[in-house]
Structure 1
């Protein structure tokens, strides 16, 4: 009962997506109905030919010609109607899936950041791609097949009862028998189908793992071990597939053919038992034809049940993402007038974490100041940067930007006036131009100026198509340092009120770093700089430095003052000096 309660609401919600294309669906169903009627009328026409021409041996050339032409026309109509309804249903299905994918992707893009702390990205990708592809079959295969099969069954039974009701009563017994066989098939095939999908997913996962980790696999000479893993999964998939084929071979065609043969024998017996006037040869032909065609829609319906179940499961996964909570923003659309930051009694912990990542943070940063956060790994530096970006909701304490509570600021204001350059920047598989502008209206001249500033000018100039050269997937034809320079170039296009750099210069050489520092000095005239730093050489000119340890502020002051205190910051600085990290 619980299964039904879950099944029908999801199926109903999936069908709602088809409402927009209601008129086209009705046209497609009428085409399908016309094709089914044309298919069923063929045997009736042949029955009339056998009864009135062959049986009576009256060669009426004109009538024979009309019957032949009509029979051919019926077949042509059936073919064309089936072709056009198939095209129409597929167009509808693609449009629906495009809409569904847009909704899923929109929901994924608006997910709170904490959702991605625990949910693998691969699952989200699977929902957007694989699950929607399974649902596509609901619209272009399952729906039309169910309608066509039920229509065919009803029309065939109607034609049978119209021709000879005695034989029709015998024929109708094949329906419950076939349904019983299909139920048994469904019972035994469902777990096998699950195994097939499981092993196929396992094979895909292993291939993905191998491709992503190919350098490590080759480095440690692990090719044979991974080859054995793939072979083992492939063999399990093969065995599961063979079990389904054996089940199909036993329960579907042969058994249904046996039942059809028994029915046919009954017809022959009745044909010989009763007088010729009751059971005519033409009627016998029609019934034999219909009996063969009656099995196909029954088998089709059963096969589609499995796809329907998969579509509902996929729908459940998709709707769980669509219905999940979205990232919350405020309604204040007023742009920030300054880059002033005021953090009051801020404490924060991640979901399911036992301890606070940040505890009782209190900082006031004047506008157009340069503040640096330093500390060991896990001290809470990046968490603080993410909170300033509004990636996580604040439960204890508050952050004020330009004297506005961070919870009140609108999404557009956030993304326009506050920017971040992260340690591992995202590079799109697109051109240099698009990777910098990201859809913003910026002239080519300004792009070239920025490329000079971040020392990417000569690299881009050397490429075949300049700023319109396409970068590889995740920017794999760029070094880590070049990716960071590209990310900084994005920011320089439109200077924000607050700029956060999260280890943004970690992989840049000293010469380029000096140039970036000069650029950041210019940005300081218009923006507040918040730098999360590991290399302490990058923050010696900061207005003040905040030292974090285990989520708490343990020191705060200028570089020279902190060195004089000989506290935690002094130890970090000396350690980097001894390791030649500071040049």
Structure 2
């Protein structure tokens, strides 16, 4: 019980900063709760005058007045239920909308290591599914809890007013429910956590299938993926059944206890009516209130059990919200003119795996440097550190005379154009894809597309630069997608350009055009390419040969071919 209340308290604390903005809606919702609860209590009390004054004393005046009173009371009660339901739903939906936004904002601020730890499907499940479960606390369960609690108070007043003795005997059975209820709640929490983790797994499986659908079909792996999905689907089915089994125990348990209370009431109350201690109207008013009382109590226990799912979801959500980036933002702007990049004794490891082991390198403005080496040698890691996706374990990277950790992250990344080996295309227009992350300027978009040798095919499309690309750019060829990605890097006119096998999907003619454009740009910029083609290597001013996390050679193609055995072996495999 204490753990459960602690979970609810934590939810309220997290949403506290939002609540003050909804004071008018809260006031209306509370008025609605009071109207609904008072209406329920008064409707139970009205049984007494109906029986005592109309049926027994034959009071014709009340016969014509009470029906109108009953209609009025039920109208007030219904209006109260509506007001409470609408305004609590409004508050809950709007708070969760804003909370979900804050959740994504925090996730986007986290380091790349976070995204390597959590699967995309799991993050989607937490942002959408878990927060939706929390919404059920804010907009449904908590308001229902309050309403039923107020209703119970009102009905208890009627019950105690009619007969304190009967009230004592009829309600004495309720404490017996506390222990089994707490056991059921604990079981629900355990089931809910497993269920939510499995929901994350199933979302991840679906995300993986749809992201790699071409490979799935090309390898006839539909059955394999379907079996994988089916296993998770069966698991969540069994967990949902366990949840239903646990939740449905609450109602029969409370009804059994309620029947014992009612049986005691009939025995003792019936004797009191026979002895003339209370009237028939008082007894039936008491009995009606008691019947009505067991309903909100039963609902209260069911709500308590349902909350376990939302409390577990809140714990998973707050776990992400409490994370903070380890990459600390700098305080100074990127220099307006980059003269050099200096890398000094740079070391970095992914866990126990050493990626860079003492890299030293100096690159000057106007140079095009090619990074070559076998797969896993540390080339991409060096780029990741330059972009500050990670911070090094030791050593520094200087731009001019400043450590890159001193620069504001936004300013640093705004001045580095990155084209990765994997091409990223968004479900938006070509213009929006090229200008991604910056204000859209049509003239600059066309200029960038021309430099990337992409404008010739773009202008032949029906809507030109405003043609909408499908998800992952499926309506473009591989080479076209890569040219759009290159145009995106060029659009920002960055001072440093990084190409990770950026021309691998291009035909020879396009590659020549883009290589020429890069060479022209390189006169005023620093260009770094991770090279996999002979033409790229030959066009570089210098080549850095990386092996086992170290630079084992740094010179021109001609010199390295004579002096570096590793380079000679690598070059023989490059075409």
TM-score of the superposition, structure 2-length normalised? Answer: 0.90
Cα distance between partner residues in 2 of 1:221 and 1:491: 36
User: Paired residue for 2:97?
Assistant: 98
Question: Given the superposition, is the C-alpha separation of residues 228 and 162 from structure 1 closer, same or farther in structure 2, using an over 3 Å criterion?
Answer: same
Displacement of 1:313 = 2.7
Flag the 1:429–1:180 CA change in 2: closer, same or farther, 3 A.
same
Whole-Å separation in 2 of the counterparts to 1:99 and 1:309: 23
- Work out whether residues 436 and 489 of structure 1, in 8 Å CA contact, stay in contact via their aligned partners in 2: yes
Q: 1:340 aligns to what?
A: 340
- Identify the residue that residue 165 of structure 1 maps to in structure 2: 164
Q: Residue 379 of structure 1 corresponds to which residue in structure 2?
A: 377
Q: What CA deviation, in whole Å up to 9, does each residue of 1:476-505 have, x standing for no partner?
A: 333333222111111222211111112211
Question: For residue 405 of structure 2, what is the aligned residue in structure 1?
Answer: 407
Verify: 1:288 aligned to 2:325, yes or no.
Answer: no
The answer as to whether partners of 1:329 and 1:407 remain within 8 angstroms in 2 is: yes
Aligned to 2:495: 497
C-alpha separation between the residues in 2 aligned to 1:260 and 1:539? 84
Query: Which shows bigger deviation, 126-135 or 459-468?
Result: 459-468
User: Does the 8 Å contact 1:132/1:314 carry over to 2?
Assistant: yes
The alpha-carbon deviation at position 214 of structure 1 amounts to 4.8
Q: Tell me which residue corresponds to 1:322.
A: 321
Q: Secondary structure at 2:263's aligned position in 1?
A: helix
Asked if residue 53 in structure 1 is aligned to residue 54 in structure 2, the reply is: yes
What is the distance in 2 between the residues matched to 1:192 and 1:325?
29
Question: 1:267-325 CA deviation, whole Å, 9 max, x = no partner?
Answer: 33334423465333333332333222222322333233344333333333333323323
Deviations 1:371-428 (A, max 9, x none): 1111111111111111111111123221110221111111232022222111113222
- CA offset digits 1:192-249 (Å, max 9, x no partner): 5556556655555555555455555555555556555655655555555555555555
Change (3 A) 1:30 1:178: farther
Relative to structure 2, which stretch is displaced further, 382-391 or 234-243? 234-243
Q: Quick check: 1:17–1:96 contact (8 Å CA) kept in 2?
A: no
Q: Does 1:419 align with 2:417?
A: yes
Deviations 1:446-504 (A, max 9, x none): 32333233233344334443323322223233333322211111122221111111221
Q: 1:183 to 1:564 in 2, by over 3 A?
A: closer
> Secondary structure of 2:395's partner?
strand
How far 1:537 moved relative to its partner? Answer: 1.5
Say if 1:28 and 1:85, in contact at 8 Å, map to a contact too.
yes
CA distance in 1, matches of 2:121, 2:520: 41
CA distance 1:440–1:87, shift in 2 (3 Å): same
| Pair 1:174–1:378, CA change in 2 (3 A) | same
Greater alpha carbon shift after TM alignment, 132-141 vs 325-334 = 325-334
Q: Which moved more, 1:201-210 or 1:462-471?
A: 201-210
**Aligned twin of 2:311:** 312
Deviations 1:500-550 (A, max 9, x none): 112211221111111111211221132111111111312312111111111
Following the alignment from structure 1 to structure 2, what is the Cα–Cα distance between the partners of residues 96 and 179? 32
Please state how far the C-alpha of 1:9 moved relative to its aligned partner. Answer: 6.8
Partners of 2:341 and 2:362 within 8 A in 1: yes
Cα distance in 2 for partners of 1:437, 1:100 equals 29
- Displacement of 1:150: 1.4
| RMSD between aligned residues | 2.9
Q: CA deviation at 1:439?
A: 4.8
Give 3-state SS (helix, strand or coil) of 2:64's partner.
Answer: helix
Q: 1:295 to 1:197 in 2, by over 3 A?
A: farther
Aligned-partner SS, 2:46: helix
**Contact map agreement 2:7 2:311 (CA 8 A) in 1:** yes
Secondary structure of the equivalent of 2:453?
coil
- Give me the TM-score of the superposition, normalised by structure 1: 0.89
**Partner residue of 1:349?**
349
Which stretch of the first structure deviates more once superposed, 260-269 or 154-163?
260-269
Distance 1:543 1:209 in 2: 41
Partners of 2:7 and 2:497 in 1: CA distance: 49
Look up the SS of the partner of 1:365 in the other structure: strand
Gapped regions of structure 2 (runs ≥ 5) = none
Q: How does 1:246-261 map to 2 (within 5 A)?
A: 251-261=249-259
Distance 1:456 1:222 in 2: 35
Distance in 2, matches of 1:85 and 1:138, equals 14
Matching residue within 417, 428, 431 for 1:430: 428
Shift of the 525–26 alpha-carbon distance from structure 1 to 2, 3 Å rule, reads: same
CA distance in 2, matches of 1:143, 1:183: 18
Residue correspondences, number? 572
Q: C-alpha separation between the residues in 1 aligned to 2:5 and 2:292?
A: 35
